[in-house]
């Protein structure tokens, strides 16, 4: 019974995948409905859902239900005004639905977008806001804490601090952890003019892989959208990205390393080549590799160094690869890439 109550408590918008498909489950659930909802959650939310403590925005009309008065809202130690007419608790106790990887920036944008939706329920998160909420990688220098939303309503005006209103038509909408966002396919093309060529490839790699909550779209969908567009912004960057995006990439640094190898004149390595290991009867998949010469290249992030478990796994994997006759080259953010270029050349020449 506890499972039924937990599921039935989820907001209806969490149970929809697209604004184009607005049907929601009824408020009174049968066992069959619960099974369908659990199946939906398993197939639609590809990463497990989590709940974190975060403020839930409310408006003046909610004061009575919350047992509050207008005078209470003036206490800044208790309440913070997000936008004019929308407040949140300064010390929240509410639990909000979020992806398991969500951090402070994700929760901050979730609160601001949720607050704005109370005032303008027909807008949709887009641009850098949608990228943050989807968990797509953005370059560090692209720091923007504004809330970006899009609408097809030409008459809508929003004049609020740190809110940017975009206008468009024909875009698809995805309900992502109870938030309406422009689809990841449309977002890729919206971000194209804002990102460098390599950064756009990293976004595409993340969008079609299992990074964070993906895959959010597919390479076929991105290509079809590009072919169907008569007017395409940053067309050169988009075409280059679509030729270089690869499935199953685990991290933006893997993307960076693969592109670095290509841009330095080496053949493109295979992403996660399968290596059959006879020692433990398993398949090993290094980050990058050249199966024809049995050369593997691994990118070692900081967690490989700080996690004793991951460190042990890395050692064992390297030993197993070497037992199969493979050479393993390792790269980290501290690697001298000029030296690495010469080392790689000795194997690929």
User: At CA 254, angle to CA 44 and CA 197, rounded to 5?
Assistant: 90
Percent of the chain clearing pLDDT 90 (strictly above): 73
Report in angstroms the alpha-carbon separations of 254 from 73, 95, 272, 333.
Answer: 48, 34, 10, 11
Residue 139 · residue 196 · CB < 8 Å: yes
- Answer yes or no: is pLDDT of 14 > 60: no
Query: Which neighbouring-strand residues pair with 83?
Result: 86
In this structure, whether the domain defined by 252-348 belongs to CATH 3.40.960.10 is answered with: yes
Q: Which of 260, 243, 263 is nearest to 252 (CA)?
A: 260
| Segment among 19-23, 186-190, 215-219 with least mean pLDDT | 19-23
pLDDT score, position 314: 78
- Whether the full predicted model's pTM is greater than 0.75, yes or no, is yes
How sure is the predictor about 11, in pLDDT bands with cuts at 50, 70 and 90?
A: very low
pLDDT score, position 315: 86
N- to C-terminal Cα distance for the chain? 65
pLDDT score, position 22: 35
Which of the two residues, 301 and 271, has the higher pLDDT score? Answer: 271
User: What's the pLDDT tens digit per position in 287-309?
Assistant: 999 999 999 999 997 555 555 66
Domain ranges of the chain: 1-44, 45-244, 252-348
Q: What is the length of the chain?
A: 349
CA distance 9 to 183: 26
Mean pLDDT on 26-52: 50
CA distance 268 to 255: 12
Long-range CB contacts (< 8 A, 24+ apart) of 238-245? 238/189, 238/192, 238/200, 240/197, 240/200, 240/201, 241/192, 241/197, 241/200, 241/201, 241/204, 242/204, 244/201, 245/201, 245/204, 245/205, 245/208, 245/219
- Answer yes or no: is pLDDT of 12 > 80: no
| Segment among 146-150, 209-213, 296-300 with least mean pLDDT | 209-213
């Amino acid at each position: 019974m506890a499972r039924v109550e937990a599921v039935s408590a989820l907001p209806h918008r969490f149970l929809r995948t697209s604004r184009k498909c607005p049907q929601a489950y009824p408020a009174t659930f049968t066992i069959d409905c619960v099974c369908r909802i659990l199946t939906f959650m398993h197939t639609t939310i590809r990463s497990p859902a989590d709940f974190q403590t975060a403020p839930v925005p409310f408006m003046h009309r909610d004061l009575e239900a919350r047992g509050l008065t207008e005078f209470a809202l003036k206490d800044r130690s208790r309440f913070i005004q997000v936008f004019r007419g929308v407040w949140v608790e300064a010390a929240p106790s509410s639990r909000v639905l979020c992806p398991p990887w969500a951090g402070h920036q994700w929760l901050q944008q979730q609160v601001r977008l949720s607050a704005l939706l109370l005032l303008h329920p027909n807008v949709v998160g887009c641009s850098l806001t949608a990228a943050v909420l989807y968990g797509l990688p953005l370059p560090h220098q692209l720091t923007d804490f504004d809330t970006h939303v899009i609408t097809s309503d030409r008459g809508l005006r929003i004049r609020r601090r740190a809110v940017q209103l975009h206008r468009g038509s024909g875009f698809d909408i995805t309900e992502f952890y109870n938030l309406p966002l422009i689809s990841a396919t449309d977002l890729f093309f919206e971000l194209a003019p804002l990102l460098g060529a390599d950064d756009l490839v990293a976004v595409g790699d993340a969008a079609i892989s299992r990074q964070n909550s993906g895959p959010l779209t597919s390479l076929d969908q991105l290509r079809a959208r590009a072919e169907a567009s008569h007017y395409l912004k940053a067309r050169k960057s988009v075409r280059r990205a679509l030729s270089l995006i690869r499935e199953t990439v685990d991290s933006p640094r893997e993307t960076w390393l693969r592109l670095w190898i290509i841009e330095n004149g080496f053949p493109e390595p295979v992403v996660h080549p399968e290596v059959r290991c006879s020692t433990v009867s398993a398949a090993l998949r290094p980050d990058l590799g050249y199966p024809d010469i049995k050369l593997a290249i691994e990118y070692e992030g900081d967690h490989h160094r700080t996690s004793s478990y991951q460190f042990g796994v890395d050692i064992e994997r390297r030993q197993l690869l070497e037992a199969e006759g493979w050479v393993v080259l390792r790269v980290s953010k501290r690697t001298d890439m000029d030296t690495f270029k010469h080392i790689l050349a000795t194997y690929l020449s």
